[in-house]
Structure 1
Amino acid sequence: MSGQDAAERPGVSRRGLLGLAGAAIGGLALGATGGAVTATAVAAAATNTSYPFFGEHQSGIVTPTQDRLHFAAYDISPGTSRADLIALLEDWTAAAERLTRGLDVSETGAVGGPALAPPDDTGEAQGLPASGLTLTFGFGPGVFTDAQGRDRFGLASRRPPELVDIPSFPGDALEHASSGGDLCIQACADDPQVAVHAIRNLSRIAFGRASIRWSQLGFGRTSSTSRAQVTERNLFGFKDGTANITSEDTAAVEKDVWVGGNSWLSGGSILVARKIRMIIETWDRTSLDEQERVIGRTKGAGAPLSGGDEFTPVKFHHAGPDGRKLAVNSHVALAHPDQNHGARILRRGYNYVDGNDQLGRLNAGLFFLAFQADPRTAFIPMQKQLAHSDLLNEYIRHVGSAIFAVPPGAKPGEHIGAGIFG
């Protein structure tokens, strides 16, 4: 990410402002997730940290992972033209640049407009700092051709080869309401109200051109993207993402995260999003010894069963101090780069809880976000191996799936994803 100061951009277009005034904001803001969100519980932790929106790469990838997430996938509305899509991206860029500085979506904002008209900004983030907000935009396969194979925007030839359709994996129980999407926005922040405010207002701007297909709230990051961060725990109580790529691993980031070459996607990445429901009740009745065997790490320190501390390299076929060896079909063993031809991904996962299902079971799990240069050599072969053999499969179900091409960062004076239009 470039450290340059963000330049002022033109404001949201007249059509975007009309969208602000006319949107049915209740349905757009929360999608299928529902639930009330306030900033009260984390107000003390909110900071004045801000990340520039413009730069070589989009923020929200190697940026130190924030604690809260609101992710939204959008369908482009029928009748939207190529010019309309460009205008939407221009409006989103202008608003996003302001939001990441802790400002309202426009200069008029929440209280500066006419008293008899809806305000430009919904106002729930007034008085809150930027809270490390990052907004990361992506393009799904539907931008290039729709479900019927039609080239709606003259972009079919611009679809990058890395943006493949994710295959079906054994055990998938994918739900339409949590999968797919033409566009996506990943909002990460240290205050949930700041993240929700961003998605709410960007959705209002999109009114008439795109609408939320599904969205997901996340909390308690489960991966660290900086060595300065401790490894957090998932809802099974285990440290997650110990071997994750971090921003300090510059060679790995360049090789495994950023797309190379000279295409419009060079310097961008491919994002795979997977909603993974955890069968909490079954897991909670499983012995500690079996939980550790399934994962391949100790529950307390997070050390591999082959011995050492959390960051000790995994030793296959090596007994630890208590005589236990790493099971060949444990989660850690199957996901390890040594078992996947050296493939690595950068993870930005989050815990989620969506209430309870009709049987009273906790509807909760991991919202898995993985950035990589090419899923054909990273996520897909890795997931194929996990889907066939992972001991963890008894306790999880993949219920949502989507893939997006995440363009490089925008320069001042251009909109996000400008390169896609040639």
Structure 2
Amino acid sequence: MSTEQNGQTGQYGQTGQHGPTGQEGPTARTGPEQLPPDPVTTAGEPAAEPRRGVSRRGLLGAAGVGVAGVGAGIAGTLAVEHRADAGAAAATGTAVSSYPFWGSHQAGIVTPAQDWLHFAAFDLTSSRREDLVALLTAWTAAAARMTQGHGAGPVGPTSGDYAAPPDDTGEAIGLPPSGLTLTFGFGPTLFRDARGRDRFGLADRQPDALRELPQFPGDNLDPARSGGDLCIQACADDPQVAVHAIRNLARIGFGTVAVRWSQLGFGRTSATTTGQATPRNLFGFKDGTANVKAEETLDVDRHVWVPHGADARAGWLEGGSYLVARRISMDIEIWDRQALSEQERVIGRTKAEGAPLSGGTEFSAPNFSAQGAAGPLIDTTSHVHQAHPDVNRGVRMLRRGYNFVDGSTGLGRLDAGLFFLAYVTDPRTHYIPVQNKVSRDAMAEYVQHTGSGLFAIPPGVQQGQFVGQALFA
């Protein structure tokens, strides 16, 4: 997908957002402090933060408890804390800054898009199935804690055995949860690696749609920024909270996984609820005008979640999704020297208001048949025209992309662009055909895809289970 700016399904365009029964719930928030209720609390009573009713040491229990036992114990204890803190929040009006971890869908998909991202892909360094299960169990327990502001371990960064490394790295001490969500995914190589090995006995459960993405026109992919057995998407309203989460999950996985590549992102490039203003990308245009909003639940069900019976071999993925991750470098210095008229022609929208060039306001539907003195008002090669659902069999995506600036290149230019994240019900119908079109649109001259990954995102986690548990059943 090139860099869909405001078209509905392209790189910079819309991607459906909230589901009706998703982990975060259908409640839209109109600001950073208005969040959906925690499902383990009484209706209308959100869980407050910070939660300090139970000590980290108390959560651990006996020193000999196994990883799975610790995860289940933490889940139960957090549920008690949620209920207690919900009452306090209702009584005091304390602002809420956390999303629930447990639910029917993973957090971080239909959640209102946060301001910061740290994304990481991992390679497994162990070929033992029990090590993979233990890792996912430990990650689940840590994620449940961190998303509620409890750190990454059962003890903490300044407690426990003084002669041993701390149980948490400590850079998030004193920080609230900041809306942290952690979303986990499985890459194609988890099921069969590059050498064709079925390391974990999972090859017969690989979804048909989970295959390496094809080479698209204009791709210049760096293998060091592509692929991965596992992925974690950390989104938060504080960059340090997001970085802390990935750092500690990598620490927990030491000896079982190694970071293959990671990406920091700032400035969300999607408005995912009706209360969020449309953001702008590094080309200076409004981004995601046509994104499906959280309230459009039917579109989310149709275009995002994997439905029942979609794949006989992958029933474990029902209620989950597929994540397409693409690192898109933008030639911003070249773009900045183009006339405003050329920039608007390439995008197909006005720069000031984000309105389609066929007229109207930002949220007016583009009229691709409208003619001017020199031809169509919206150029047929514009990004909006090529990415619009009307010319792509109606398919849409749920986008959660972010801007990035990674220093400079050897040519003395900024290494900047868009880290594209899109959740779809099937990449074969909802991403690959659209990307094949927009990779040849007018914007393709100014962008280059330099990293890529496709991941199966399991459904949400129920308390007492670990992420992706149904895959191993």
Taking structure 1 as the reference length, the TM-score comes to 0.89
**2:446 paired with 1:395:** yes
Q: Matches of 1:60 and 1:298 in 2, distance apart?
A: 31
| Among 99, 103, 106, the residue aligned to 1:58 | 106
Residues 321-345 of structure 1 show CA distances to partners (whole Å, capped at 9, x for unaligned) of 9997000110000000011000100
CA contact (8 A) 1:48 1:129 kept: no
Residues 165-215 of structure 1 show CA distances to partners (whole Å, capped at 9, x for unaligned) of 210011100001211000000000000000000000000000000010000
Q: Matches of 1:353 and 1:384 in 2, distance apart?
A: 26
CA contact (8 A) 2:395 2:430 kept: yes
CA contact (8 A) 1:306 1:320 kept: no
Residues 31-51 of structure 1 show CA distances to partners (whole Å, capped at 9, x for unaligned) of xxxxxxxxxxxxxxxx74111
Q: Matches of 2:389 and 2:131 in 1, distance apart?
A: 43
* Gap change, CA 1:206 and 1:15, over 3 Å in 2: farther
Residues 248-287 of structure 1 show CA distances to partners (whole Å, capped at 9, x for unaligned) of 1100000100000141101000000000000011001000
Q: Matches of 1:131 and 1:13 in 2, distance apart?
A: 33
Bigger mean CA offset, 87-96 vs 3-12: 3-12
Deviation at 1:241, TM superposition (A): 1.2
**3-state DSSP of counterpart to 1:291:** helix
Deviation at 1:243, TM superposition (A): 1.1
In structure 1, the partner of 2:208 is 161
**2:4 paired with 1:4:** no
CA contact (8 A) 2:116 2:267 kept: yes
Letter in 1 for 2:460: G
**3-state DSSP of counterpart to 2:429:** coil
In structure 1, the partner of 2:349 is 297
* Gap change, CA 1:303 and 1:320, over 3 Å in 2: farther
CA contact (8 A) 1:48 1:130 kept: no
Deviation at 1:398, TM superposition (A): 0.4
In structure 2, the partner of 1:306 is 358
| Among 374, 388, 396, the residue aligned to 1:344 | 396
Instruction: Spell out the pairing of 1:67-146 with structure 2 (5 A cutoff).
Output: 67-77=115-125, 79-146=126-193
| Among 225, 234, 238, the residue aligned to 1:191 | 238
Q: Matches of 1:225 and 1:415 in 2, distance apart?
A: 28
Q: Matches of 1:184 and 1:321 in 2, distance apart?
A: 50
Bigger mean CA offset, 360-369 vs 221-230: 221-230
Instruction: Spell out the pairing of 1:240-251 with structure 2 (5 A cutoff).
Output: 240-251=287-298
Pairs aligned (count): 390
Deviation at 1:137, TM superposition (A): 0.1
User: Cα RMSD (Å) of the superposition?
Assistant: 2.1
Structure 2 unmatched ranges of 5 or more:
1-21, 24-37, 42-46, 48-53, 68-94, 310-314
Taking structure 2 as the reference length, the TM-score comes to 0.79
| Among 353, 363, 368, the residue aligned to 1:316 | 368
| Among 241, 249, 260, the residue aligned to 1:202 | 249
Deviation at 1:113, TM superposition (A): 1.3
CA contact (8 A) 1:62 1:246 kept: no
